[in-house]
C-alpha cells in the first residue's frame, strides 16, 4: 500500500468523509477515490455501487482484478427533543447500528435518569451543532415540535445535506414550519426533503411505535442514498 494513500484514507475517515481505496490486485498499485470523484467505465460503476452499499468487493474490470475497500463514515442519528419517543428510539437505534445523540435545552426533559447510556446534551441545538456539525452521514429527527428548539436544527440539517431529515407534527404544524423555514432562507426543494409527518406509514400510534417508524425511515433513507438522483437523471 502506498503510504500516501494510507495517510489520505485515514484523514478522510477522521473527517467523516466517504472514500474507497482501489487496489489493482495484479500489480499492487492503489489510489483513493472520494465520493463524487468521477471514474469512467465499468470500474466507475462498481465504485458508485460500493459508495452506495458501503460493501467492499473484488471486481473484474478492463481485464484486471481490482479490490474496492469502501470506507463509509458510521451513520448516526441526532434527535432534537428528549421526549417519550426518543426514550424508545435510543435503544432501538443503537441496536440497529445507528448510534444516537439527543439534544434538548429543557433540563427537565434531558436527564440521565430518563436517558441512561445515551449521549445527551441539555443545551440548545445552536450550541451543540456549532461544536459538532451535522454532515451527510448524519440523520436528524426533530421531535419537540417547538419552533424555538426544532427550527434551527432543521435548517442546519438541510444545509448539511443530512441523509435523512424528519420532523414531528401534523400536516398543519408542518405547513406553518415550511413558512418559517422559507423565511430562514431554505429553498422549497430543500424543504421537500423533510419527512413530515415523520416516520414510515405503518399506522404507528404509541411513542414506541412512532420510534420504529422513524428508525425504519432512517434506514430506508440510508440504504437508498443516491438512488433518487440516479432515477431523476434516467
Partner 1 sequence: MDNSIYLDEARDPLIIAEGWMKDGKDVAIATVVETWGSAPRPVGSHLVIDAEGNFHGSVSGGCVEGAVVSEAIDVIDSGKARMLEFGVADETAWQVGLSCGGRIKVYVERLG
CA distances from 131 to 44, 123, 139, 150 (A): 36, 12, 17, 17
HSE-CB for 74 with a 13 A CA cutoff: 11
Residue 88: which of 53, 118, 67 has the closest Cα?
A: 118
Out of 31, 39, 61, 69, the only residue in the binding site for partner 1 (CB under 8 A) is 69
CA distances from 79 to 27, 42, 83, 168 (A): 47, 39, 10, 11
Out of 84, 111, 122, 132, the only residue in the binding site for partner 1 (CB under 8 A) is 132
Told to check if 16 binds partner 1 by CB under 8 A, we report yes
Considering only the stretches 106-114, 129-137, 171-179, 187-195, report the one whose residues sit in contact with partner 1 under the rule CB under 8 A: 129-137
Told to check if 152 binds partner 1 by CB under 8 A, we report no
C-alpha–C-alpha distance, residues 41 and 47, integer Å? 10
Which of 162/196 has CB closer to partner 1? Answer: 162
C-alpha–C-alpha distance, residues 37 and 171, integer Å? 39
Take residue 101 and report the three cell numbers written for it. 445523540
Told to check if 134 binds partner 1 by CB under 8 A, we report yes
Told to check if 49 binds partner 1 by CB under 8 A, we report no
We find the least distance from the C-beta atom of residue 128 to partner 1, in angstroms, to be 10
C-alpha–C-alpha distance, residues 180 and 174, integer Å? 10
Out of 13, 49, 180, 193, the only residue in the binding site for partner 1 (CB under 8 A) is 13
Out of 133, 185, 192, 226, the only residue in the binding site for partner 1 (CB under 8 A) is 133
C-alpha–C-alpha distance, residues 115 and 92, integer Å? 13
Out of 45, 55, 187, 224, the only residue in the binding site for partner 1 (CB under 8 A) is 55
Out of 19, 22, 76, 155, the only residue in the binding site for partner 1 (CB under 8 A) is 76
Point out which residues bind partner 1 (CB under 8 A). Answer: 1-3, 6-7, 9-10, 13-16, 23, 25, 28, 55-58, 67, 69-70, 73-74, 76, 99, 119, 132-135, 138
Amino acid at each position: 500500500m502506498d503510504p500516501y494513500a494510507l495517510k489520505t484514507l485515514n484523514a478522510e475517515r477522521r473527517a467523516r468523509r466517504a472514500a474507497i481505496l482501489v487496489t489493482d490486485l495484479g500489480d499492487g498499485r492503489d489510489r483513493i477515490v472520494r465520493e463524487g470523484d468521477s471514474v469512467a467505465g465499468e470500474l466507475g460503476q462498481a465504485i458508485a455501487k460500493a459508495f452506495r452499499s458501503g460493501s467492499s468487493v473484488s471486481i473484474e474490470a478492463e481485464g484486471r482484478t481490482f479490490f474496492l475497500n469502501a470506507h463509509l463514515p458510521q451513520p448516526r442519528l441526532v434527535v432534537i427533543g428528549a421526549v417519550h419517543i426518543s426514550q424508545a428510539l435510543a435503544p432501538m437505534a443503537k441496536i440497529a447500528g445507528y448510534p444516537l445523540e439527543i439534544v434538548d435545552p429543557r433540563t427537565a426533559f434531558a436527564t440521565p435518569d430518563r436517558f441512561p447510556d445515551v449521549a445527551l446534551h441539555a443545551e440548545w441545538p445552536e450550541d451543540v451543532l456549532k461544536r459538532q456539525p451535522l454532515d451527510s452521514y448524519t440523520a436528524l429527527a426533530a421531535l419537540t415540535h417547538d419552533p424555538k428548539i426544532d427550527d434551527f436544527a432543521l435548517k442546519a440539517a438541510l444545509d448539511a445535506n443530512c441523509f435523512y431529515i424528519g420532523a414531528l407534527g401534523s400536516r398543519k404544524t408542518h405547513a406553518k414550519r415550511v413558512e418559517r423555514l422559507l423565511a430562514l432562507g431554505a429553498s422549497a426543494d430543500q424543504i421537500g426533503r423533510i419527512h413530515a409527518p415523520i416516520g414510515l406509514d405503518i399506522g404507528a400510534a404509541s411513542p414506541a411505535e412512532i420510534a420504529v417508524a422513524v428508525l425504519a425511515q432512517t434506514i430506508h433513507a440510508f440504504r437508498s442514498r443516491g438512488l433518487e438522483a440516479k432515477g431523476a437523471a434516467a
